[in-house]
Structure 1
Amino acid sequence: MATSKTYLLEKEEINELFTNLEKQYVLYAPVKISAGGRYQEQDSIMYKPIHTYQDIEFNERSTYSAKEVLTPITQTLFYFTDDEFTEAKLKQKKNIIIFARSCDINAIKIQDQIYLENGNIEDFFYKRVRNKVKFALMECSKEFDGCFCCSVGSNKTDHYSIAFSFEKEKAHIEVKDETFDHYFNSKKTSHYQISFPTENKLKVNFPVIENIDLANQLKKHPMWDEFENRCIACGACTIACSTCSCFETTDIVYTENPHIGERRRTYSSCMINGFDEMAGGNCFRKKNSEKYRYKILHKVYGHNARFQTGPMCVGCGRCSARCPQLISYPETLKKLCHAIKEIKQKKGV
């Protein structure tokens, strides 16, 4: 990539830019859906295709993350008959630009690990979409309630092609990828520098679990007991999470002809009943506290044990914001830190 340049565009020029970009790309960004939230008259902010500058909600955190662009809640993988199957065609022919904040771009890097670097097998359906994606960084000019990106190092990224600092009637736009240079011919340059958050009000000491022995001792710690009644195992936290990737596959047989159908992949959650059910009806985690414990220890220990890249968390705060029981993820991490200290003291470490 060439040295980046920054431009200042007015609202009309930004809409002209979007029109030109849409000839080659589908633009996805956070969009406010009126009265689409959990409660009456509460809005929801989700990733949708956008066409104009006014479509983008850049003052509030999106309710759900950008991962849904890459892995839709439900997607058909292939169609089958008695003796053959055909992969579902990719409906999206154009390339994609995703407008995302630093934490969400870092979250996609974790998704990449799960789908593309997990052993020697790459997920074909994820990869074919991922190869089409470029990122447009959205500058965070203010932090949102519950954010702790600085505590996990997801407050910064250089994994973007273009960056936007939005204002009401204009935007400063940094262009890193020379692919986009021609869109800004004759546009007014700017000395503005895209900035990243440097400190959050909420500071979280992320627990460090050095080995499987400590992880196994934490599984037996009484700290999890309180969540048996508090957590209702609804899965809202994992659906809102920008790094969770659990799914289930289901074969749908057409009633008109029971010998043909399709296989679908659908979002799921380690928090819901039946997710870990095996043949014969046996489950690994029957209690809500056990489900919650599994989720937390996977975020803190399991993912890092496999990939050696740190916790499976970017500090976006969505899980706490979406919990109907008001369970705080940072408070859980604090309890986990205390439990680790307690175990080590008993062992004389």
Structure 2
Amino acid sequence: MGFSLNLTEFKNIFEELKKEYTVYAPKLFKNKGTYSDTNMVRYDEIHDIEDIEFDQKSHYSPKEVILPITQTLFYFTEDEVIEPKFNDKKILIFLRSCDIHAVKRLDEIYLKNGGEDYYYRRLREKVKFVLMQCEKSFENCFCVSMNTNETKDYSLFIKRKGDILFIEVKEEEFLSYLHNGKSEEVSPSFIEKNEVTANVPKDLDISIFKSPIWEEYASRCIACGRCNTVCGTCGCFTMQDIFYKDNVNTGERRRVWASCQVDGFTTMAGGHEFRKDKGDRMRFKVMHKIYDFNKRFGYHMCVGCGRCDDACPEYISFSNCVNKLNKVVKGEI
């Protein structure tokens, strides 16, 4: 069911929504970019529809809403463990098709890959998706190649044209908010072509581990981990026990994002560390995204958002790497 409203009407609806939902969306932060006088778009809590950045791709994915960068799991004292207070308010996230697919990948890892992750599930089950339409393919995107350019997994679709908003409602609970809207035929249109393509090899296997292709990344990669932090499907974490200065027997246990590309990720007891070579780390990441995950779940982990290419200070391109792998498998290089 579709509706159209003017900006003032939607702002009134937005205020009502905020009573029941915490709303997250891509937001423009001026002069907060990597370089001087550049801006950054990242996810933040939104209090007004005017705060939402519809026209630019966010530099970071929305995963930090349901998988926080740092998350206190519990507090401990000498004789008890205490869970932190949990905000049970529901969540609305404005996101694009590729990012909805990225959340599906995280769901596979945290909810369907053995036992459910309790901390992930209790956040995830509160979330509803608001689809944002891509008016054009952004730089470095290759979502069409990864079959993530389209989705039906959303509760609302919202498109803004000037001071008019067009809304598709797919869940009945939201109809009550839009009873004053004008009835319209509303549906999203999806990107059908990217400037960048990624040709994932069909006959890829572990024999590619021995290919000299990985040597290039041993010299180029600086192990900063930025590709992992901006990726919507990377979900690795480490545990940290924080001990308080006033009583070293009390503190908290935190779950903190980790990166398979940085030094120390594979350090084991006794100081042994494998994948010290940065090319080996790149191999691990790439093969996990387009080989290992696919063998287990039947589709690729990478969603083609292109954020890793956007973020890399050494201009390493994931899509280019995939295309090189394809040529190696075909015997072209």
Q: Is the pair's TM-score, using the shorter chain for normalization, greater than 0.5?
A: yes
Query: Deviation at 1:9?
Result: 1.2
Query: Deviation at 1:84?
Result: 2.8
In structure 1, the residue matched to 2:72 is 76
Kindly provide the amino acid, as one letter, of the partner of residue 148 in structure 2.
S
Q: 2:68 matched to 1:111?
A: no
CA–CA distance in 2 between the matches of 1:113 and 1:82? 37
Q: 2:318 matched to 1:322?
A: no
Kindly provide the amino acid, as one letter, of the partner of residue 234 in structure 1.
C
The equivalent position to 1:49 in structure 2, one of 31, 45, 48, is 45
Task: Check whether the contact 1:100–1:137 (CA below 8 A) recurs between aligned residues.
Answer: yes
CA–CA distance in 1 between the matches of 2:107 and 2:88? 21
The equivalent position to 1:32 in structure 2, one of 21, 28, 34, is 28
CA–CA distance in 2 between the matches of 1:33 and 1:93? 28
Task: Check whether the contact 2:137–2:193 (CA below 8 A) recurs between aligned residues.
Answer: no
In structure 2, the residue matched to 1:167 is 161
Give matches, 1:89-168, under 5 Å.
89-90=85-86, 92-119=87-114, 121-168=115-162
Query: Deviation at 1:203?
Result: 2.1
Query: Deviation at 1:167?
Result: 1.9
Kindly provide the amino acid, as one letter, of the partner of residue 233 in structure 2.
T
| Secondary structure, aligned partner of 1:58 | coil
CA–CA distance in 1 between the matches of 2:278 and 2:203? 23
Give matches, 1:201-220, under 5 Å.
201-209=195-203, 214-215=205-206, 217-220=207-210
Task: Check whether the contact 1:209–1:301 (CA below 8 A) recurs between aligned residues.
Answer: no
Q: Write out per-residue CA displacement over residues 58-109 of structure 1, whole angstroms, 9 at most, x where no aligned residue.
A: 100001011010011111011112333222222x331000000010011000
| Secondary structure, aligned partner of 2:325 | helix
Q: 2:259 matched to 1:269?
A: yes
| Secondary structure, aligned partner of 1:147 | coil
Query: Deviation at 1:47?
Result: 0.7
Query: Deviation at 1:10?
Result: 1.1
Kindly provide the amino acid, as one letter, of the partner of residue 61 in structure 1.
K
Q: 2:172 matched to 1:183?
A: no
Structure 2: 5+ residue runs without aligned partners?
A: none
Q: 2:306 matched to 1:334?
A: no
Task: Check whether the contact 2:157–2:187 (CA below 8 A) recurs between aligned residues.
Answer: no
- Taking structure 1 as the reference length, the TM-score comes to 0.93
Q: 2:222 matched to 1:228?
A: no
Kindly provide the amino acid, as one letter, of the partner of residue 311 in structure 1.
H
Moved over 3 A (4+): none
Query: Deviation at 1:209?
Result: 4.6
In structure 2, the residue matched to 1:246 is 236
Query: Deviation at 1:191?
Result: 2.2
Query: Deviation at 1:152?
Result: 0.8
More divergent stretch after superposition (187-196 vs 311-320): 187-196
Kindly provide the amino acid, as one letter, of the partner of residue 85 in structure 1.
V
Task: Check whether the contact 1:208–1:300 (CA below 8 A) recurs between aligned residues.
Answer: no
Q: Percent identity?
A: 45
Give matches, 1:281-292, under 5 Å.
281-292=271-282
Structure 1: 5+ residue runs without aligned partners?
A: none
- Taking structure 2 as the reference length, the TM-score comes to 0.97
| Secondary structure, aligned partner of 1:113 | helix
CA–CA distance in 2 between the matches of 1:170 and 1:327? 40
Query: Deviation at 1:165?
Result: 1.3
In structure 1, the residue matched to 2:301 is 312
Q: Write out per-residue CA displacement over residues 103-139 of structure 1, whole angstroms, 9 at most, x where no aligned residue.
A: 00110000101111111x1111110001100000001
In structure 2, the residue matched to 1:295 is 285
Kindly provide the amino acid, as one letter, of the partner of residue 142 in structure 2.
F
CA–CA distance in 1 between the matches of 2:193 and 2:160? 20
Kindly provide the amino acid, as one letter, of the partner of residue 58 in structure 1.
F
Query: Deviation at 1:186?
Result: 2.5
Kindly provide the amino acid, as one letter, of the partner of residue 199 in structure 2.
N
Tell me: CA distance 1:219–1:169, structure 2 relative to 1, closer, same or farther (3 Å): same
| Secondary structure, aligned partner of 1:88 | coil
The equivalent position to 1:22 in structure 2, one of 15, 18, 34, is 18
Aligned pair count?
333
CA–CA distance in 2 between the matches of 1:168 and 1:228? 48
| Secondary structure, aligned partner of 2:182 | coil
Q: 2:56 matched to 1:60?
A: yes
Kindly provide the amino acid, as one letter, of the partner of residue 296 in structure 2.
R
CA–CA distance in 1 between the matches of 2:5 and 2:215? 55
Task: Check whether the contact 1:139–1:166 (CA below 8 A) recurs between aligned residues.
Answer: no
| Secondary structure, aligned partner of 2:54 | coil
| Secondary structure, aligned partner of 2:269 | coil
